[in-house]
Amino acid sequence: MARVAYSGRALCARTPTAAPPRGTSTEVLRAFLRLGLTSFGGPIAHLGYFREEFVVRRRWIDDASFADLVALGQFLPGPASSQVGFAVGLGRAGWRGSLAAWAGFTLPSAILLFLFAGGVRLLSAPWAVGLLHGLKLVAVAIVAQAVWGMARALCPDRQRAAIAVLAAWIVAAGFSSAHQLMVIALGAAAGLLFCRNGGTPVAGTVSIRVSRAAGALCLALFGVLLVALQAGARAWPRSPLALLDAFYRSGALVFGGGHVVLPLLRSAVVAPGWVGDDAFLAGYGAAQAVPGPLFTFAAYLGAVASPARPLLGSALALVGIFLPGMLLLAGSLPFWDAFRTKAWAQAAMRGINAAVVGLLGAALYDPVWTTAVHGHLDFAIVLGCFVLLVSWRLAPLAVVVLGAAAGAVGAVGG
């Protein structure tokens, strides 16, 4: 899902407000567990739930500080809503609170997708095969909706539209993790050259504090793991360490969060042969039907990729994909206020965001469309799901149920 600027009060200089009393990690866990069980609708909706719960109802954080955290989550790689939740837990109950926030918000959907991974291997009846195919068709519609929304929000002018098209061309030439990094780098360079006048300067401070020493340690750990895990994966290419590396690199490189992780994860698990394209897209469709962050799709992929030890594979994938974003968030908090006001940093991010649109647009065609849509009926189901999402604004959960049912009926009828 596209990262869209938070619509609350603009970031501005402000007088300090009294900090709320410190809480406990148990309190944080209870609050985020309730959200993890009920927060449907993707990262933008999640931020709305967070604001209602922690700004309006519980008053753990003020409105402007919340907006600052959203801006930081948008700037960094990783899942924006989970990063904001991590920071809210950190501010409320320290490091234990941050882990409690992540666990409460993440584990409900991760457990559901882990169970779905076990059930997929048992589904062989015609209606069940059709149901899984219906989930793949829903995935086509949902990714198309994401591309549509991101293009409107992140490519509003000719310069950024051109960057998106160029990124799509590069990816279409042959996707790999190296291409992803190259496209992001080219997007940043193009933003520096052509996108310096695309936004409003920001100011203000982030009220959740992390010491510079702790921040530097988190950033160093992020870099060490990125290099060390890749070296370990090359030495033991079919080991659990290689699986952890695949998901860690995906979480470290994905700008835009949400649906943008799709091409990276496919490159990480489908290309090496750990997960087939059909199973990949069926799980991606199922991930739309559960609450919580979309990154928990990794729990499903890790289980499918490790049939002999599915629980270990699921846990490694889940930790691997979330850890880099959390390390970057904690590491950036002490330095964010000075960095984000730089005009060149804002221009680079505008170029990166436009490149992300191109990445996801290329993935919409291959593998999402080419793998799922095979005939007139498939096209009709995709078109119907897209209209329900975009024009009728139906909840994704309802569209998932309808698309899966249409696939099952089509398989039985055919």
In order, the DSSP letters of 233-278 are: HHHSTTSHHHHHHHHHHHHHH-SS-GGGHHHHHHHHHTTTTSS-HH
Determine the average pLDDT of the residues in 120-148: 77
Closest CA to 329 of 106, 76, 82, 85: 76
Determine the average pLDDT of the residues in 249-273: 82
Share of the chain above pLDDT 70, in %: 86
Cβ neighbours of residue 384 under 8 Å, at least 6 residues apart? 402, 406
Report residue 214 CA to chain centroid gap. Answer: 25
Determine the average pLDDT of the residues in 10-28: 59
Cβ atoms of residues 323 and 248 within 8 Å? yes
pLDDT tens digits for range 63-113: 767 877 877 887 788 888 899 999 999 999 999 999 999 999 999 999 999
DSSP symbol at 10: P
Q: Is residue 192 over pLDDT 50?
A: yes
Among the residue ranges 21-30, 170-179, 289-298, the one predicted with the least confidence is: 170-179
Phi, psi dihedrals of residue 14, rounded to the nearest 5°: -155, 160
Instruction: Give the integer Cα–Cα distance in Å for 10 and 55.
Output: 15
What is the pLDDT at residue 17? 42
pLDDT tier at 331 (50, 70, 90 boundaries)?
A: very high
pLDDT tens digits for range 387-414: 998 899 887 778 888 988 998 888 766 6
What is the pLDDT at residue 408? 85
Determine the average pLDDT of the residues in 205-229: 89
pLDDT tier at 2 (50, 70, 90 boundaries)?
A: very low
What is the pLDDT at residue 258? 66
Closest CA to 409 of 131, 148, 143, 144: 131
Determine the average pLDDT of the residues in 286-311: 92
pLDDT tier at 11 (50, 70, 90 boundaries)?
A: very low
DSSP annotation string for 145-195: HHHHHHHHHH--SHHHHHHHHHHHHHHHT---HHHHHHHHHHHHHHHHHH-
Q: Is residue 4 over pLDDT 90?
A: no
Determine the average pLDDT of the residues in 17-39: 81
Mean pLDDT of the chain: 83
pLDDT tier at 261 (50, 70, 90 boundaries)?
A: confident
